Amino acid sequence: MKRRCWLAVILLITCLCGSLSGPAAVQAQPDTKTLLLYDSLAVDTPKEGNVEELQRLLAAFGAQVTVMNLDHYTADTLSGYDRVIYVKNAPDLYDINKDFLKDMAAYTGDYLHIGTHLPERVQQQLHTVTAVIPDAAVTITADAWSSAPTRVPSLPVITSYQGQPYGAVQLYHGSHAAPFGVIHGRQGYVPYYVKGNASELALSSLLKDWLGVQKPGNLYLVIRGIYPFSDLEKLKALADRLYGAGIPFVVSVQPVFEHTDYPAMLRYLQAMQYVQARNGSIVINTPVVADTISQDKTVLKREMSSFIDVLAQHKIVPLGIGAELYWSYDHLYSAEGMAFFDSSLLYPNEKIMYRDRSPQSKVFVSSPFTVTIRQLQEYVRHKKTADTLPVDLAVTLNFEADSVHLDEEVAWLEAQWLVFADYKQEEHQVKNDHVLLQSRGGILKMNGQSLTQNSTLLSGTSGAAEADYAYTKQARQSLSGLFRVQNNIFVAIIGVTLLVFGLFLIIGYRLYKRKYYK
């Protein structure tokens, strides 16, 4: 009887502790599928790239996304998804896919509409009334963040609605302001969304609630473009400067798969050790994809794993992978190159080169939304206070830029009120067949053992690099000794000949001089 009483007390205490601890900060549920539909990519228009930016925003919230063009939609597709986002980029094109119209009329899941032609059923649920303002100059605001005025040839705005508003669309030189977007129940609507201004932050605020994400956003600083042939002394000086300013940072380094025993590679590793000791975090950038990429699908996995091993051997703990967005929508790249990492930095696509394209994205536990420092400067043009970000935001600096330009950007960061988070404070994991690398609460771990960042890391633990290292092996020479003796003999003969020739010149000069006197 006493044992049962004690068990009851312990169970009650456990329940009370669980209720007092509160809900944990989580991302979008990984088992919740999201369908992203679009009617047009809006090429050569101001809306070009907004679908790609939306994909990166959804990745930052940890959403499992399937991307589909409306032309490829087939009957009953909506029934397989819990959430649907439809981007209507072409206002002059009406939806002619009858299967989609039929399924949409019966769809009861979460729905977010971006653009014009809001479905009538959703319009009734949101009680929205819209209007189109021709040739408008607008400013998009999201809390205290804002963007410069942008001229829009035809701007759709919400004039009446029911639900929770997000952000604002302020007409330039006008008193009219409309919500950027609204959510009511399980339905959401954003009439205008473009790439590269504060509409990204306004949409992220709406997406956070629509996806049910509770995790607050952090601000990170990322330095891109670090190669073995980069100016490593310049990198160390930048690390010292950021460390002195109290700004934690992330360095995205290019992997090396061959000649990892060369002195140049050793200096590269020592620079990473120095960065890590200066409160910097390391992420591995994806290798450069060429048209002549090997057809062997195991090469990428083997090489990425080998570079992780090289870093681990030198006490360097990478915490994620940096890649262009399309890598996460490719079966080969995501399975062979990104499978070691649970965290990523997904950059905008620069040159898309799929190997095995996938409509479904790879999900990461952590994937901050990356923006350039110019975008950040635009956001904070009129901002005075620091507000909580709705999404993890990573500001990128290009290390390959000229020193004067980079110095100006760092000076601007030092002068701002911005508070950058330490990437190591979050949980990250990199794992292959030989090593497990982790971070949590600012502590780096290797195979479960904590690494202390002490003075040995500042000076480098990999030894000194040889300045006169032979990068190419000399061919074996079987007659080198004989040739050396011959060369010495020829040198002696030539020397004697020159000496004799000199004596003849002296004797001839004296004889000619005596003849002249006579």
Which CATH topology does 219-459 take?
TIM Barrel (3.20.20)
Please report how the helices 232-244 and 403-415 are oriented relative to each other, as an axis angle in degrees rounded to 10.
10
Which CATH topology does 33-211 take?
Rossmann fold (3.40.50)
pLDDT at 479: 64
High-pLDDT (> 90) share of the chain, %: 52
pLDDT at 31: 58
Q: Got the DSSP string for 484-505?
A: HHHHHHHHHHHHHHHHHHHHHH
CA dist 202 and 183 (Å) reads: 13
* Token duo for residue 4: 């049962």
CA dist 272 and 315 (Å) reads: 10
* Token duo for residue 24: 């944990």
Q: Is the pLDDT of residue 471 over 70?
A: no
pLDDT at 193: 92
The overall longest dimension of the chain from CA atoms, in Å, is: 146
Q: What is the pLDDT of residues 247-286, one digit of tens each?
A: 999 999 999 988 888 888 999 999 999 999 999 999 999 9
Predicted confidence band of residue 2 (pLDDT cuts 50, 70, 90)? very low
Full-model pTM: 0.82
Q: What is the pLDDT of residues 286-321, one digit of tens each?
A: 998 876 455 667 789 999 999 999 999 999 999 999
Lowest-confidence range among 98-102, 308-312, 375-379?
375-379
CA dist 367 and 426 (Å) reads: 12
pLDDT at 18: 38
Q: What is the pLDDT of residues 398-422, one digit of tens each?
A: 998 888 999 999 999 999 888 999 9
Predicted confidence band of residue 22 (pLDDT cuts 50, 70, 90)? very low
Sign for the CA dihedral angle at 47, 52, 56, 57 comes to positive
Q: What is the pLDDT of residues 321-343, one digit of tens each?
A: 999 999 999 999 999 999 999 99
Beta bridge partners of 347: 324
pLDDT at 297: 72
Pinpoint the residues of the chain covered by CATH 3.40.50.880: 33-211
Pinpoint the residues of the chain covered by CATH 3.20.20.370: 219-459
Identify the residue whose tokens are 């006197």.
Answer: 517
